Copies of this chain bind each other. A is one copy, B any other.
Amino acid sequence: MPRVSSKIPGVQGCAVERTLSLIEGKWKIVVLYKLLRGTLRFNELRRLMPLVTQRMLTHQLRELEADGLIIRTVYAQVPPRVEYSLSARGRSLEPVLMAMKEWGDTNLSSQEAQAA
């Protein structure tokens, strides 16, 4: 099924790279990771990630949405209510996120944090 771009010879890694490019943004994986547990409102996300500025969070969310990884639902209410949840596509990234988390837990345990 390595049906990637087929043609281009030296660019097999492309699939890996393109996958990476979707989750590269500074806080994107964190967002995805949080959303694995369920839908969250904008400000709930903010509270979970106090270090992210509003502008950044909005921006990352918009990109994740554009890439079809999350779904943004706006409720026409007065204090606005906007909910974010993973799309099927986004949820399918779970194995990737988990592989990364496990690797990190194992290999970055502050102990051997730097070069082993």
Interface majority SS on A: helix, strand, loop or mixed? helix
Q: Which residues of B contact A97 (CB under 8 A)?
A: 16
Q: Which residues of B contact A102 (CB under 8 A)?
A: 95
B100 to A88, Cβ gap below 8 A? no
Q: Which residues of B contact A34 (CB under 8 A)?
A: 13
- State the oligomeric state as a number of copies: 2
User: A95 — nearest CB in chain B belongs to which residue?
Assistant: B99
Give me 21 A-to-B residue pairs in the complex whose CB atoms sit less than 8 angstroms apart, sorted by A's number.
A1-B105, A2-B37, A4-B104, A4-B105, A5-B110, A10-B47, A13-B29, A16-B29, A16-B30, A16-B104, A19-B101, A19-B104, A19-B107, A20-B100, A66-B115, A67-B114, A68-B114, A68-B115, A92-B107, A96-B96, A99-B99
Interface residues on A, range: 35 or more
Residues in A lying within 8 Å of B, measured CB to CB:
1-5, 10, 12-20, 23-24, 29-30, 33-34, 37, 47-50, 65-68, 87-89, 92-93, 95-97, 99-110, 114-116
